[in-house]
Chains A and B, each alone.
Chain A
Amino acid sequence: MAKGRRIVAPGEQLPPDTTGPEEYLVDHGEWKSPATLGIVDERDGKHVFIPLQGVYVPRKGDIVIGLITGQGIVNWFVDINSPYQAILTVQDFLGRPFNPMTDDMSKLLRIGDYVKAQVQAFDRTRNPTLTVQGEGLGRIVEGKIVEVLPSRIPRIIGKKHSMINMISEETGCEIYAAVNGRIHLKCPNEDSETIAILAIKKIERETHTVGLTERVKRLIQEEKKVRGV
């Protein structure tokens, strides 16, 4: 592990100036502690805590990949890989008022379908609502979905999209990594799909290590050679 980086466990003392996601840092007044396992990165005397764990808690504006798990009278229930089940209304999906006499919900979305949607509202007191009104949103009709720990998504994307762009370029896959830990892949063939999945799973396992981009790149190139891509 690089100098200035260390793994920390819940309850351990961190300097009071440590920054990081609020939900995962406990403020004890004179000191702070991580609420989950994570990494503390010390740079130029500043401490940053990066959690290695945590469930996905929706935030307004997030683009998520949801799984349709149930159907209500005017809405679908959507699993967004979170403790909170999301709701997508038929009216939103259609972009016009819903008429149960003429519109057949089950023809629009079926249980088991994936949708790419945006969190419209959520405040923890009510279930999050989703919208598919926006560019690139709606039912996912092709490709594969890979699930990873939501806390790994930032690393899979990388700084300024460096990691995800590299995998894309090397494999030729179109990749979308949603914050809720679901990654949508559209690949030219099965081999490149497998390679992209192997790369993503490697990042999930080794998120906290340094020099990861290089190692992932090497893995992809070796796999390409083996598979003759």
Chain B
Amino acid sequence: MSMTPFRVPVVPTLKKETFMSLYRKGTRLDERDLFTPRKVEIETGVIDKAEGSALVKLGNTKVLAGVKIEVGTPFRDTPNQGVLTVHAEFVPLASPVFEPGPPDENAIELARVVDRSLREVGVVDLESLVIREGEKVWIVWVDLYVIDHDGNLFDASMLAAMAALKTARLPDYEEYETGEIEVLRDKSQGPLKLNHTVVTVTTAKVGEYIIVDPTLDEETISDSRMVVAVDEQGRIVGLQKVGEAGYTREEVEKVLNISLGAAKVYFKSLEEALARKG
């Protein structure tokens, strides 16, 4: 059952006023304009044992993504495809409001939005992950670990997932006569095959303003948020309205335009981080 959040921090009325008066002047507390994301830092290969990994810092928000690749059975309706699974954990060390326990609705929503944004456009080439059709395929697990929450977990998580997938390597394997498959993790068949690159752009609606990449404070004062997933061709590959308010048609159009613009910043950050790597 989904409930109106009852453990939300109280927003001092004056704080909201301060933010709004800055927005009126086209700027924000951290001197950004309304449409620019915070500084993005991407470090890949941070976890040796994972087939792919990335630590993303979006301002003070930190998300760690790990890609593990295992052998498993395909879904019955897709015997000629591997499997992609995204999971998110809001670890309690990341925020005073995160509690230990199974993922809550926010973590589930985050994982499912990232999952769909990767899946719908076919970021991971699932057909390249078949070992024996209908029997054995590679299962790609993307685990998102939110370790410091200063707002906009969606964009940071998507960047982390993307960077981890882009640097992930498919392990080698040996097939025995019994049909059993042993994964040889210290050998690699090469990089995981990807067909597209996707980023999400989260905007917050605060009164009449639409702002890109809200900090936690900005999320708290915001009325609602919209997460728009964009691929490298500028197509919209996913979208989710998140939060307690509604949007007018005009606001939706504005959000799409702003998001398509801001996506370029994230693509550039990803590109630069991966170029450095390799």
Direct contact between the two chains A and B in their complex (CB within 8 A): no
Tell me the B residues contacting A by CB distance below 8 Å.
none
Tell me the A residues contacting B by CB distance below 8 Å.
none
